Structure 1
C-alpha cells in the first residue's frame, strides 16, 4: 500500500523526489507501473505541479522513470536497485567543460524554442506563462531560490511544448548538469544588481515570440538570452 506523507510545510522537489524514489525502491510502484498524473500527485502530496514535474525529471535522469508522451510516466523496466547503484552524478569542474555545456545548451534550446513556437498548444502556452508569472513574483519578492526554480520551470515548459521526446530528454539532462555544475554561478547571477529584472525581460520576449508563433524571433530571443547568461557566468568566474 502506498503511504501518503504528511507534509506540514511546502516541500522542495528534492524531498518529493526522495519520497517517490523510496516508493519505487520499496515496491509500492513496480517496474512498468504508470504513475498518477501531475494533478493527482499534486493533490496527494500537497505541493505544486511544477514541484512534482521537477522531481519526476530528476528521477528520469537517474533512470528510474520513463516519460511516454500521450501515455504518462512509468517506472523503468530496469531493476531500480541496479540503476541507482550504477548512477554517479556528473561532475564538471574545468572551464572547458562548462563552456561545452553552455554551447550544448545554445544548440539544443534554440532548436527547441523554434519547434515550440510552431507546435505549442494553448495548454503548453499556459504552462510557459505560469512559469513566467512565477518568475515575476519571485523577482518582485527578491526570492533567489524561487527565481532559479521558476527559470528552470520556464525552460522545461518550452521543451515540453516542442513535442519531441528526444529533445525533451536532452533538455532534462542538460538542466540536471547545469544544476550540479553551475549552482554557485547561477546563485551569483541572480544576486547581481539588475540581473533578475534583465533576465525577466528576456524571458518575456521569448514567451511573446512563442505566443505569436514567430519561430525566428523565438530563436533570436533565446540565443540572445543564453549568450548573456554565458557571458555573465564567465565574467564571474
Structure 2
C-alpha cells in the first residue's frame, strides 16, 4: 500500500512537488504509472487543488510527468534519474530573451486576463489574493518576490478554466521565472518600483474580481508595458 500521509499544515507547492519527486525516484510511482486524479491526490495529501496543480506542473516542466488531456497524469516512461540528469535550466537570460518573452506575454496574458474576468470563481480569487499577499510580504522584506509574481500570473491563467491556456503558461514557466528574476533585479534597483508593481498587480486583480473584462485586459497590458519601460528606458 502506498504511503499517502496528509500534510498537517499548509504546504507550498514546492514541498508537495519534492514529496512527489521523492515518491517517483524511490519507485513508489514507476515509469508509465497513472497518478491519482487532481481531486483524489488533493484529498489524499490534504492540500488544495491549486497547490496540487502547481506541484504537478513543476514536475511536468522537469520532464518527470506527462499530462494527457482526457486520460490523466502519468510518470514519464523515461528513467526519472536520466531525466533529471539531462534537465539543464537556462544559464543566462539576455536582453533579447526578456524582450521576446514580454512580447509573447502581451499577446497571451491580455487575453487570459480578459477571459479570467469572465470565468473566475471565488476560489480562483482567493488564490490570486494569496499571491498578492505573498508579493506584499516579499516587498516589505526587501525580497524580489519572483515566485509570488509567477503564482499570481499562473493563478490568472488557471482562472480561465481552459486546459490549453493553462498548459501554455506551464510551457513558458521556466523561462518566465528566470526572466522575472532578471527583471526584478533590475527594476527593484529604483526606489518605489516594488510598490508600483504591486499596485499594478492589484489593479489587475480588482478588474478580474469585478468581472470587468476590458479593464482586466487593459491593466495587464499596462503592467507589461510598464515592466518593459522600466527595464529598457
Whole-angstrom distance in 2 between the partners of 1:75 and 1:123: 26
Q: What's the counterpart of residue 34 of structure 2?
A: 32
Gaps of at least 5 residues in structure 1 are none
Matches within 5 A, 1:1-150: 1-2=2-3, 16-30=16-30, 31-34=33-36, 37-38=41-42, 40-41=44-45, 54-66=54-66, 74-81=73-80, 83-84=83-84, 86-91=86-91, 93-139=93-139, 141-145=140-144, 147-150=145-148
How many residue pairs match? The answer is: 227
Poorly superposed stretches of 4+, deviation over 4 Å: 10-16, 48-54, 66-71
What displacement does 1:210 show?
A: 0.6
Deviations 1:7-61 (A, max 9, x none): 9xx9876565344222112221232122653465466xxxx98766544322121
Specify the SS of the correspondent of 1:78: coil
Alignment-derived partner of residue 172 in structure 2: 174
The offset of 1:181, in angstroms, is 4.3
Structure 1 residues 187 and 79 mapped into 2: Cα distance closer, same or farther (>3 Å)? same
> Secondary structure at the residue paired with 2:169?
helix
Give the superposition deviation at 1:178. 2.2
CA RMSD of aligned residues (A): 3.4
1:214-233 correspondence runs (5 A): 214-233=212-231
TM-score for both structures, normalised by structure 1 = 0.77
- Distance of 1:197 and 1:123 partners within structure 2: 26
2:193 to 187, 192, 195: 195
Using the TM superposition, give the Cα deviation of residue 148 of structure 1 relative to its aligned residue in structure 2, in angstroms: 2.4
In the aligned structure 2, how far is the partner of 1:221 from the partner of 1:170? 21
Q: Deviations over 1:167-194 (max 9, x none)?
A: 1122122232122345233233345311
Residue ranges of structure 2 left out of the alignment (5+ in a row): none
Distance of 1:56 and 1:112 partners within structure 2: 21
Alignment-derived partner of residue 153 in structure 1? 151
